């Protein structure tokens, strides 16, 4: 049997292009005991994948050139030699960018599509939802009445952070890159205010105006000058869950910014970087709480869905242009 896969053809310098990827056919062996044959349904593209395209040591190993990329996938079991899975089961796991793939029963888990659509297990009920939940609740530790600012607010992590902060009775301000996203955050997702960083000339002033009591929690998804502007409005004893730095992922040199440490020091601010897997042992708690809020309609979600396996590279590159609102997904 053959299938189609997308490999890393070359490593990018700066912003990746479609030439860094290649689609090719490959033979699949027969499955062995304890394995299943899967057909991909939904594929996640995520900003961290950009880091894995570099040949650099990080918390996740680099993608190898000439080998398929991989990431979160929701797939259907089409053949099984596992006692835990049968044909027709819908599962999720970290799987290669192939139309069909073989997985060990140890590396996949069944999902409950009666709670939410299957693709939500790549977003609000998957890695990005857990990132929002643990980053905000375990590092940000919101208290009622506090002001929470989140950058990348209309993305998969950001829109969940803002809604969880609202559930905690915080005052929530989002930062995003289009007027449509700003309107959506305020009208549909319960943000108290939102700022379009692309059309706001003085972000420091705009944040001061939107946050009259200062910023108690800054959930940082983007880094760079947006974060400099937020942090210049930071309150005493504020917390900064450092989740992502997407504005810097394609930088070819380290940009200089203001020296923020004196302000963090004198205002007793906690800034803590984290990777969602730090909370692995607590994932069941996160899954349960997120699923409960989704079922109770207290957490809403939206997705940008590209159609067709061949769209995977384009969808990944779209994250760096702000093409997505909510989770970027490729449906096959």
Ligand X SMILES: NC(=O)c1ccc[n+]([C@@H]2O[C@H](COP(=O)([O-])OP(=O)(O)OC[C@H]3O[C@@H](n4cnc5c(N)ncnc54)[C@H](OP(=O)(O)O)[C@@H]3O)[C@@H](O)[C@H]2O)c1
- CA dist 189 and 256 (Å) reads 34
What residues between 64 and 103 interact with ligand X by CB under 6 A?
Answer: none
Could you say which of 158, 162, 286, 313 contacts ligand X (CB under 6 A)? 158
- CA dist 56 and 271 (Å) reads 25
Instruction: Rank residues 137 and 222 by Cβ distance to ligand X and give the closer one.
Output: 222
Give the total of residues touching ligand X (CB under 6 A): 31
What residues between 93 and 152 interact with ligand X by CB under 6 A?
Answer: 128, 131, 152
Does position 283 interact with ligand X (CB under 6 A)? The reply is no
Could you say which of 41, 53, 73, 156 contacts ligand X (CB under 6 A)? 156
Instruction: Rank residues 82 and 247 by Cβ distance to ligand X and give the closer one.
Output: 247
- CA dist 105 and 279 (Å) reads 23
DSSP 133: H
Span near ligand X by CB under 6 A; candidates 201-209, 227-235, 264-272, 314-322: 314-322
Site string for ligand X, 229-258 (x = CB under 6 A): --------------xxxxx-----------
- CA dist 40 and 73 (Å) reads 7
Tokens 């942090």 correspond to what residue? 231
Alpha helices in the chain (DSSP H): 48-52, 127-134, 156-167, 179-187, 203-210, 224-231, 261-266, 283-295, 312-318
DSSP 159: H
Could you say which of 73, 124, 195, 222 contacts ligand X (CB under 6 A)? 222
- CA dist 121 and 136 (Å) reads 19
Q: Which distant-in-sequence residues (6+ apart) come within 8 Å of 277 by Cβ?
A: 59
Does position 48 interact with ligand X (CB under 6 A)? The reply is yes
> Least distance in Å: CB of 142 to ligand X?
18
Positions in the binding site for ligand X (CB under 6 A)? 46-48, 128, 131, 152, 154-158, 176-178, 181, 221-222, 226, 243-247, 274-276, 319-320, 322, 324, 328
């Amino acid at each position: 049997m053959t299938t189609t896969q997308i490999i890393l053809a070359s490593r990018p310098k700066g912003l990746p292009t479609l030439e860094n990827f290649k689609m090719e056919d490959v033979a699949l062996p027969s499955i062995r005991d304890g394995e299943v044959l899967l057909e991909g349904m939904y594929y996640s593209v995520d900003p961290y994948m950009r880091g894995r395209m570099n040949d650099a040591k990080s918390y996740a190993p680099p993608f190898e050139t000439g080998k398929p990329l991989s990431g979160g996938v929701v797939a259907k079991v089409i053949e099984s030699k596992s006692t835990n899975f049968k044909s027709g089961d819908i599962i999720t796991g970290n799987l290669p960018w192939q139309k069909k793939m073989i997985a060990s029963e140890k590396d996949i888990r069944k999902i409950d599509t009666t709670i939410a659509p299957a693709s939500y297990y790549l977003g609000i009920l998957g890695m990005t939802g857990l990132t929002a939940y643990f980053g905000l609740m375990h590092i940000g530790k919101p208290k009622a009445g506090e002001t929470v600012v989140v950058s990348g607010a209309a993305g998969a992590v950001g829109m969940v952070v803002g809604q969880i902060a609202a559930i905690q009775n915080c005052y929530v301000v989002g930062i995003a890159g289009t007027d449509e996203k700003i309107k959506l955050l305020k009208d549909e997702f319960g943000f108290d205010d939102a700022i379009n960083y692309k059309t706001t000339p003085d972000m420091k002033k705009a944040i001061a105006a939107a946050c009259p009591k200062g910023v108690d929690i800054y959930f940082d998804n983007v880094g760079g000058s947006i974060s400099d502007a937020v942090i210049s409005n930071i309150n005493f004893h504020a917390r900064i869950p450092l989740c992502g730095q997407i504005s810097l992922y394609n930088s070819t040199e380290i940009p200089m910014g203001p020296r923020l440490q004196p302000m963090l020091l004198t205002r007793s601010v906690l800034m803590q970087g984290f990777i969602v897997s730090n909370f692995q042992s607590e994932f069941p708690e996160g899954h349960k709480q997120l699923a409960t809020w989704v079922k109770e309609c207290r957490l809403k979600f939206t997705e940008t869905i590209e159609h067709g396996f061949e769209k995977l590279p384009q969808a990944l590159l779209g994250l760096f242009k702000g093409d997505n609102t909510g989770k970027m997904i490729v449906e096959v």
